[in-house]
Amino acid sequence: MEQGCYTALITPFTPAGDLDRDGLSGLINFQIENRITGILATGTTGESPTFKWEEHNLVIDLIAKQTRGKCTCIAGTGSNNTAEAITGTSHAAKQGVDGVLLVDPYYNGPSSLEIRREYYEAVARETPGLDIIPYIIPGRTGAQMLPQDLAILADNHANVTSVKEATGNIDNMKLTRKLCGDGFNIFSGDDALVCQVMADGQIRACGAISVMSNIAPAFMTQMVELLNQGKTQEALAIETALSPLLNLVVITTEEESKYGPVKCRARNPLPLKTMMQILGMPSGPCRQPLGKMTQKGFDMALSALKKVQADNPEILAPVASFFNLDIDARLNDTSAHKALWYNY
């Protein structure tokens, strides 16, 4: 898979919870216009766990068709059912995607050995001409293919040359590089760590599969390009400008319930889609069981957007231009904001 920045695209929904096809088309064009390397369809950020497989395939079909010849297309086809992952991957291959992202099987609790032998190898054998990208995110899945098994997988299957690394564990990433070798592509799956893992000589990530590039694709792409050119200081300047957003992929607040204090954790894509709704981008609500952030969480997201707009308005300028929005007016429309949060 080509080095660079890939957007894990949201799936926009109507207020009734149906796929917003016009909104999806607009988001794809926004990404392409802002020089994104590629788009990931139906990932975690795209709320794929809430899809029926017919919807899942439709979103892949639409994104693959619209991106063809314009940017790389990756389809999320992972599952905790290997047969289902094979079926989804085969469908994506027929649509002409450039690769698929397979998340480690969740909930079942397989060992690293089982994940490799009974899942990734099974899919890789069925689609030998398609790039297979393992997605390692134990905080979501409760299981993990370890670097040792990833290296064996890459040794045995020529279509496994990349990984999306979202463990948050620097030592795990260093071991991945050591075992998988220089020709293997490590993509950061954590926006806040992109600069660190690309600049680290023991990791040498070659890009990112990003969440916040949904809002700022041009600047995330530029940051990754600079890092691949060895221009670390210039990249760090962009990271500093983006940092209010990069640190809000997950928003944690302390809330007061009827029975005492509660820690409330709003996880991706809820903070992202909330910010996109604030800005007026195609987004719509998250699908249940995700809902809304608390007012405290919402205020953190709004404050981050206001800081970016005040300090570096050029970051949100492409959003304003492409979608014909008044960013300052959107950020201060308190009447519209009330519909985007709730409390205990």
Query: Where do we find the tokens 């020709």?
Result: 183
**Residues with Cβ within 8 Å of residue 35, at least 6 apart in sequence:** 217, 218, 221
One-letter identity of residue 315: I
Spatial contact of 343 and 295, defined as CB atoms under 8 Å apart: yes
DSSP H/E element including 309: helix 295-311
DSSP per-residue string spanning 83-126: HHHHHHHHHHHHTT-SEEEEEPPPSS---HHHHIIIIIHHHHHH
Q: Which long-range contacts link 111-119 to residues 24+ away (Cβ below 8 Å)?
A: 111/143, 112/143, 112/144, 112/145, 112/146, 112/148, 112/149, 113/149, 115/143, 115/144, 115/145, 115/149, 116/145, 116/149, 116/150, 116/152, 116/153, 118/82, 119/82, 119/85
Note if 338 is an active site residue: no
Count of other CB atoms within 10 angstroms of residue 108: 16
The stretches of 181-292 forming alpha helices (DSSP H) are 194-199, 217-228, 232-246, 270-279
What residues have CB less than 8 Å from 130, skipping those under 6 apart? 89, 92, 93, 97, 99, 100, 159
Pair 64, 92: CB distance under 8 Å: yes
- Reading the block at residue 18, the tokens are 């149906």
Spot the catalytic one: 119, 135, 273, 292.
135
Distance CA 188, CA 173 (A): 9
Active site residue 135: yes
Answer for the pair 306, 337: CB distance below 8 angstroms, yes or no.
no
The residue annotated as part of the active site, out of 6, 164, 273, 292, is 164
Q: Which residues are catalytic?
A: 135, 164
